[in-house]
Structure 1
Amino acid sequence: MSSILPRPRFLPPLSVAVLIALTVGLAAGAAAQSWGLPGGETTAGGIAAVGALWLNALKMTIVPLVFSLLVTGIASIADAARTGRLAGKAILWFAILITGATIYAVLANYGLHQVWPIDPEGGARLIAGAPATPDGLRPGAPFSEFVKTIAPANPIRAAAEDAILGLVVFAVFFGFAASRLPESQRLPLVGFFGAVAETMIIIVRWVLLAAPLGVFALALGVGLSAGVGAAGTLAHYIALVVLAQVGLIVLIYPVAMVFGKVGLPRFARAAAPAQVVAFSTQSSLASLPVMVERAVDFLGVARSTAGLVLPLAVALFRITSPVANLAVVIYCAHLFGVEVSFAHIVAGMLTAILVSIGSVGLPGQISFFVSIAPICVAMGVPLEVLPLLLAVEVIPDIFRTVGNVTADLAVARIVQGGDAEADVGGEI
């Protein structure tokens, strides 16, 4: 097995730089709060403008990127489903499990906030000076108003007004409709949106090159108003997002036992090496060779099944996406004191499921904004603290990857079903 294990990947330079920028910005702001800032309000206003400019540069890519990724992602799913019964069965299980994970996400995250709420003083310090809730579905809006937002009367207007759920639903219909076109029409259309998505990703990468400067500017503003007290709230945020994902990972084991008909010790032994690779590399793709080996040699999955289901899972399926993304949005809602109605929750769940399709395979720093910003907009939650949360995303991202790899192995065993080899790697 050692011959196919990739080398552990340490934190990329940009992640390190962003973490340093966050720490230095908070410390510098706290120092300026105590001893004064050269230039006073003028300097503070200029620094805040730099942070706002950087955040707006990220926001401007959200609508075209999400729409393009959804169109190409839906087309890919439709193509995969047409390849045969095994692929169709795998996609059905992807849908079932990601829906269940989304329901779990809402229950678990609200439960965690009941048990371990945000410290009001620390939360107030972190969001000091942040803008009010954006326009959209109003807090407390009745469910009937939510239903009307699902299908936008004017998709262009929906995009302009950040009515993200309606835009996402339109993109899904557009993608499925495009998949029914003749190949001579479908390929150029999907290729066009693929090119748009790649163009937006290049822009986001350019913007993220300035992430240390943008995060520093935003963190300095937080430090000016909150001192170092905001660090405790960030640590609390990390803990809650990680706990939500750990709970999901634990639940995957009984799912594999019940539907995959595999014993707990056997599944745990099979998954452990792949989880170690996922933890060290933060990459499901890097974990793929180990997943195939463990599925075949220890879970009794046929090599042909593993060779189809596991690459398909890496390409289309991220079970931790709605859990972690909703954890971030629900945390922000509690942070800003936004009352999230049932309509908002349903809108957020639908958006989380759909955007998880389009964001699969994107680098973590890009997918963080692409996945979470639309959910924030759909639920009426401000986006302004997302850059600060991006700076500490490297820790939750580890558990995202471990959860995805664990679920991928469970799906491979479930799809194999009764044809699994009973005596491979020990007892079932």
Structure 2
Amino acid sequence: MWDRLKTLSLSIRILVGLALGAVIGLALPSTGRNEGVDQFVEAAAIGGKLWLQALQMTILPLVFGLVATLFIRSRGLTQGTGNARRAFYVMMAFYLLAIPIGIFSVEVYLGAFPVTDGMAQALRSMAGEGVPQESLHWQDSVLSLVPVNIISAMAGPSLLPVLFFALIFGAALAKLPEGEGKRVLSSALNGLVDVAFVIVDWVLRLAPVGVALLILATTQRFGADIFAGLAHWVILSSANVLNVLVVVYVIVALATKVPVLSFAKAMLPAQSVAAGTQSSTGTMPVTIESCRTMGLSEEAIGATVPLAAVVFRPIAPASFVFTCSYASAVYGLPAASFALLLTIGLLGVLMEMGSVGIPNAATAVAKFTPFAALVGFPIEIIVVFLVVEIIPDIVKTTTNVTAHAAAAAIVDRGVVSEPSPAE
């Protein structure tokens, strides 16, 4: 049986751990009825929190290394052929369009279906009852972005000044002339990220156990309220992504030469594979075939789909906006203003581009850390959301793959025939 479990995907194993921990927690006597059981549950909670902290310890090297090398890694995206540049600009337009979609979801879904006190209490318990950070006055927030001492900033509770320094550092690194110093420094930063990912991989292998310990303690204390909270999160976060999918189809109808019904029919095979694999990159060959079925040119497909499969996750800004708002609701923080939601979305574009070509699950906690500092919620709640990420991730991957094909269809309208090597 153990060998069979090891062949399952990590997401499925996490759900198995979630179910096993929940069953044990619900079967145990409630708090205060048996001292031995209470001690066992306390030990389980400590074990779960240790796993949670182990996942968080890689955040600083990941954020700094990824953002500091952003300009070097993304430079080629806008220096390719005319079709490649057009594809890049179309992707950026999709990214920016996702921001107001996320804001719409916050206003409509969280307004109509708010987080209840019972849900919030159970979710906070599983996240470790972290204390939300006090929001700074806007003048102090602006001043805090520029660190006086980067070493002190790295040791501080907020990664925003570290993020700012990493951006400046990365821009300066990209401007250096090609030479040994630039290569060595770039290699060192990439090596730092690679080492951090090895540690993340080790910690993620223990995720089913860590999740089981966390949910065990939560269900023993709060019963089934945690499932109501997780289900509420899954439904609303998935609905947020579906809004993006609807807008993608509207764009296809308005901005491409492909009839929307033909587009929808051609995309069914790719969407099915995306839902099954939860991998945009793995779905790329099927996406290409879907684009050919629509009659798109090989120039548009070749310039758009491979690039999009690696670097383009258009749902990201909407997801950042909605997740931050939901986390704020869990911790009873004031509703974010329109300006703050817009800032979250723009920062989301930056953070998503900073993780170009890297699996989303590997960087999820690291990417949300600056948002936790900006909005004020404890980062531990993001790990709780990741426990049931497999369900929204199916919707996310399907939407991303559909947007990849839509971007190719837009590029096809103004495709530039590239000269052959002989010419």
Quick check: 1:332 aligned with 2:327? yes
1:113 counterpart residue number: 110
2:82 counterpart residue number: 85
Letter in 1 for 2:220: L
CA–CA separation in structure 1 for the residues paired with 2:40 and 2:407? 54
Query: How far 1:24 moved relative to its partner?
Result: 2.2
* Map 1:20-419 → 2, pairs under 5 A: 20-34=16-30, 36-37=33-34, 39-128=36-125, 130-135=128-133, 138-139=134-135, 141-184=136-179, 185-300=181-296, 302-342=297-337, 344-419=340-415
Pair 1:88–1:40, CA change in 2 (3 A): same
CA–CA separation in structure 2 for the residues paired with 1:298 and 1:87? 20
SS in 1 for 2:414: helix
Pair 1:255–1:144, CA change in 2 (3 A): farther
The answer on whether the counterparts of 2:91 and 2:312 sit within 8 Å (CA) in structure 1 is: yes
Pair 1:108–1:227, CA change in 2 (3 A): same
CA–CA separation in structure 2 for the residues paired with 1:215 and 1:17? 10
The answer on whether the counterparts of 2:320 and 2:345 sit within 8 Å (CA) in structure 1 is: no
Q: Which runs of 5+ in 2 are unaligned?
A: 1-6, 418-423
Query: How far 1:203 moved relative to its partner?
Result: 0.2
Identity %: 29
The answer on whether the counterparts of 2:96 and 2:346 sit within 8 Å (CA) in structure 1 is: no
Pair 1:420–1:182, CA change in 2 (3 A): closer
1:281-315, Cα deviation, whole Å (9 max, x unpaired): 11111111122222234142x31332122111122
SS in 1 for 2:258: coil
SS in 2 for 1:183: coil
**159-168 vs 202-211, greater mean Cα deviation:** 159-168
* Runs of 4+ off more than 4 Å: 35-38
CA–CA separation in structure 1 for the residues paired with 2:125 and 2:304? 47
Query: How far 1:372 moved relative to its partner?
Result: 2.9
**104-113 vs 153-162, greater mean Cα deviation:** 153-162
The answer on whether the counterparts of 2:99 and 2:342 sit within 8 Å (CA) in structure 1 is: no
Query: How far 1:206 moved relative to its partner?
Result: 0.5
Pair 1:128–1:232, CA change in 2 (3 A): same
SS in 2 for 1:385: helix
CA–CA separation in structure 2 for the residues paired with 1:381 and 1:30? 28
Query: How far 1:103 moved relative to its partner?
Result: 2.7
Query: How far 1:353 moved relative to its partner?
Result: 1.7
Letter in 1 for 2:408: A
TM-score, reference length from structure 2: 0.88
1:50-77, Cα deviation, whole Å (9 max, x unpaired): 1221111111101110221223333221
**256-265 vs 205-214, greater mean Cα deviation:** 256-265
1:349-386, Cα deviation, whole Å (9 max, x unpaired): 33322211133443343233233343223321122333
SS in 2 for 1:262: coil
2:3 counterpart residue number: none
Query: How far 1:394 moved relative to its partner?
Result: 0.5
The answer on whether the counterparts of 1:81 and 1:87 sit within 8 Å (CA) in structure 2 is: yes
Q: Which runs of 5+ in 1 are unaligned?
A: 1-10, 422-428
Pair 1:164–1:340, CA change in 2 (3 A): farther
CA–CA separation in structure 2 for the residues paired with 1:93 and 1:13? 33
How many residue pairs were aligned? 408
